[in-house]
Structure 1
Amino acid sequence: MAVALLWSVCTASQAQDRAACERIVRLVAEAVGAGSIGEIEPFLAPGFIFSGQEGDRARAVMKLLVAQLGERVERIETVRQERTEEGLELVCAFTYAGRLGRKEATFLFDGEGRLKRLELLPIRVRTLGDKGGTFARPAARQLDIPVRRLGNLLTATALLDGRERTFILDNGAPRLMLNSRRCVPVRDTAALRISSSKGVNASIAGMDIVTISGFDFHGIRAGGGEFLCFDMSHLEDGTEVFGLLGYEVYKDYDLLFDYGAGMLTLLDPAVTDSCVRRLACGRPVTEVPVRMEGHVACVEARIGTHTLRLGIDCGAGTDLLDDGLWDSLRSDLVRRRETTLTGADAEVRRVRSGRVKRLTIGDREFRRVPTVFNDMSHLNLSLGHGLDGLIGFPVLSAQRTVLSYRSGRLIFLP
């Protein structure tokens, strides 16, 4: 009787454990339909493994996959179960409502009923690492680079694989990023591909990795290697654009923007002050301190009674403020209306816009500044303190402007 009772208790306990694990399987299926893993995260083991990735990276990859699938699970079948030394393993067949059809997923649960490993779909994870490309500087202390306007954006040429191509200057982008429409990556059709970066409207899906043999931006060179790419065809506007020139390309230089003369000058920080004195010709300049948030240079600005933290982004065709500021800044705006905003992710979103009556940075005042309002929470996730907005074309084009990364200054010339 004692043996029978013990067997009964063990059987009931195992059935209870399996029921709890099957509930987590259902939560995963629901997460796929909802596009969010928020309900699953409390049930993930500390060393959670997803598609060969572990810990925080596993969670990040799972989050991206679930967000980008756009599928709904119509049916769940348990194909087999097995108790191993690692825990309970369940193999379930998910029948998706869309193109994926029926796919098997493997769930491994630890002794506490937490999800230890999940193989949801056959995906291959490729990463560039945190450092990005390696760029060699030329000996010259000043590089004068002709630029042209593409709408309110600046473009410049660079040699890509030995051929002169047009790129958009965007110090709001962390890296050199290539246009997949012009630089076609080698596709692996056996694997589902996911990726993400932060754009103005949301995460940029459909990013990929492309291999190039060489890159030369007026003497700033990178040898062959892998770089991120995504479809930028919506930015072209009749001009073939091969990518974005991001922060990593020119981070060792100070930037002098001269929209009127059609020139971007890259300055060795050792010669920045002498260049500013020469261009100012004895007239006063405005200098304000800059602090870095990741790769984004930030300044304090004032609108009415509000002090804001704004990122400096030459890839922003208009100024941008967080949508949460709309109500508090209503009295500081004119020409309030709705408009559309298209980000690097190609998503077009209806947003509110207006002209800021007075935007003050240091002692420099900018009047009737065209500004759009949008949710910036996705941009701020990776930043330490976060931003209230971005300043772009309306401020940078109003005068010659120096952005000094090394000394931490934004300088408005007369």
Structure 2
Amino acid sequence: MHQSIKIIIVLLFFAKSFATETKPIKDVPPFFFTKAEFVNASTTRIPFKVIDQLIVVEVEILDEVGDFIIDTGSEALILNSVHFKTTRNFIDESEQKSGINDNIEDVKEKHLNLLSINDISLEKLNADVIDLSHIEKTKKIKLLGIIGYSILKNFEVFIDMHLNQLTITRIDKKGNKLSDKVYAETIEDSIDFNLKKHTIILDAYVGDKKVVFGLDTGAEYNQLNKNLDSEILDYFYPSRELKLTGASGKKKKVLAGKLYRVKLTDSIYFGPMKTVITNLRKMNTAFGTNLDGVLGFEFFKQKRTIINYRKKKLYFIANPITEP
């Protein structure tokens, strides 16, 4: 299994097959983050937009400008087949891509020559080509693709919801930054995580009960497994129902509300977070995990977070002090 295609709340869809391709291309040329700001030879800052609780960056490719979603829950770099025509140069994949509710079929892989982030380049990339037209329509953006783990693992990634920007800096094989002059801010805390394939796994607590969460920038709301102990679910306060759509477009109603008393350690804790109750059984089966829930946008909204995949560590930057 190549990448995670997750349930994303309300109207974010992944379809099973390609839409009609409109732009014939024989190969995918380099693409560029249009608004990236150079910091040093190994570091750049990229401003992002928040669209329906998704992190979206602007990219230029084939003389067109469009959007990519930053999604730690996706293993691969994904291209939207609406904008990238499949040709003989594509390599057919025999395996299926699994989601929580469905298997995703008809995924093809394409080799990319270059990703350029100012002077920071990655060569010989692979990309999956999937129909993302439902996301494009419902989010009302020109969605060119999704940037996932296969790209992000090469950098230390600072996701700053306070400034709406990513700071990414190249790291060596041990996860050490190539430059010491990266962050003006002070790191106030850190925690280790486990990596299951490409999924960040965090040990956490709800109240005084230990739980295991996945961390995913592509989850618009947190997700909590409905089969959890009632003592954990007691900290979930429901407020309404939402329509949740799986990978093939199947819809079901879920209970939405807020989850209280979540903490990673005694010093790393969270205020109430928007959460839905759902069944994570198929996701756990697909990815060989045993998650009690998923932390998404709500996590990053409260914590200015640095991800270092090679060190398997999260770092947290202090929130700015605001005047009352």
When normalised by structure 2's length, the TM-score is 0.73
| AA in 2 matched with 1:152 | Q
1:158 matches 2:158 = no
Question: How has the CA–CA distance of structure 1 residues 198 and 272 changed in structure 2, closer, same or farther, with 3 Å as cutoff?
Answer: farther
Aligned-partner SS, 2:260: strand
Summarize deviations over 1:286-321 as a string: whole Å, max 9, x none. Answer: 211111111111111111232111111111111112
Residue of 265, 272, 286 corresponding to 1:368? 272
Q: CA deviation at 1:175?
A: 0.5
Any conservation in 2 of the 1:234–1:346 contact (CA below 8 Å)? no
Any conservation in 2 of the 1:201–1:375 contact (CA below 8 Å)? no
Any conservation in 2 of the 1:160–1:216 contact (CA below 8 Å)? no
CA–CA separation in structure 2 for the residues paired with 1:263 and 1:325: 35
Q: CA deviation at 1:244?
A: 0.6
Aligned-partner SS, 2:72: coil
Q: 1:387: which partner in 2? A: 291
Q: CA deviation at 1:201?
A: 3.5
Residue of 281, 287, 295 corresponding to 1:377? 281
Q: 2:185: which partner in 1? A: 279
Matches within 5 A, 1:37-186: 140-161=41-62, 163-186=64-87
Q: CA deviation at 1:141?
A: 2.1
Matches within 5 A, 1:309-324: 309-324=212-227
Matches within 5 A, 1:339-350: 339-343=242-246, 345-350=248-253
Q: CA deviation at 1:409?
A: 1.6
Matches within 5 A, 1:216-235: 216-219=116-119, 221=121, 227-235=127-135
Question: How has the CA–CA distance of structure 1 residues 346 and 410 changed in structure 2, closer, same or farther, with 3 Å as cutoff?
Answer: farther
Q: CA deviation at 1:196?
A: 2.8
Q: CA deviation at 1:367?
A: 2.1
Paired residue total: 274
CA–CA separation in structure 2 for the residues paired with 1:323 and 1:331: 12
Matches within 5 A, 1:210-249: 210=110, 215-219=115-119, 221=121, 227-236=127-136, 237-249=139-151
Question: How has the CA–CA distance of structure 1 residues 220 and 198 changed in structure 2, closer, same or farther, with 3 Å as cutoff?
Answer: farther
Deviation above 6 Å: which 4+ runs of structure 1?
Answer: none
Q: 2:13: which partner in 1? A: none
Aligned-partner SS, 1:257: strand
Question: How has the CA–CA distance of structure 1 residues 305 and 337 changed in structure 2, closer, same or farther, with 3 Å as cutoff?
Answer: farther
Please list every run of 5 or more consecutive structure 2 residues that lacks an aligned counterpart in the other structure: 1-15, 17-30, 32-37, 319-324
Question: How has the CA–CA distance of structure 1 residues 203 and 373 changed in structure 2, closer, same or farther, with 3 Å as cutoff?
Answer: farther
Summarize deviations over 1:78-136 as a string: whole Å, max 9, x none. Answer: xxxxxxxxxxxxxxxxxxxxxxxxxxxxxxxxxxxxxxxxxxxxxxxxxxxxxxxxx9x
CA–CA separation in structure 2 for the residues paired with 1:326 and 1:203: 29
Any conservation in 2 of the 1:159–1:215 contact (CA below 8 Å)? no
Any conservation in 1 of the 2:77–2:126 contact (CA below 8 Å)? no
| AA in 2 matched with 1:228 | D
Matches within 5 A, 1:255-266: 255-266=157-168
Q: CA deviation at 1:377?
A: 2.4
Q: CA deviation at 1:211?
A: 6.3
CA–CA separation in structure 1 for the residues paired with 2:113 and 2:303: 38
Query: Percent same amino acid at aligned positions?
Result: 24
Larger radius of gyration: 1
CA–CA separation in structure 2 for the residues paired with 1:226 and 1:286: 34
366-375 or 138-147, which deviates more: 138-147
Residue of 182, 204, 214 corresponding to 2:104? 204
Question: How has the CA–CA distance of structure 1 residues 268 and 186 changed in structure 2, closer, same or farther, with 3 Å as cutoff?
Answer: closer
Any conservation in 1 of the 2:58–2:67 contact (CA below 8 Å)? yes
RMSD after superposition = 3.4
Question: How has the CA–CA distance of structure 1 residues 186 and 226 changed in structure 2, closer, same or farther, with 3 Å as cutoff?
Answer: farther
Q: 1:32: which partner in 2? A: none
Any conservation in 1 of the 2:44–2:117 contact (CA below 8 Å)? no
Summarize deviations over 1:259-288 as a string: whole Å, max 9, x none. Answer: 1212101123434995687412xxx72211
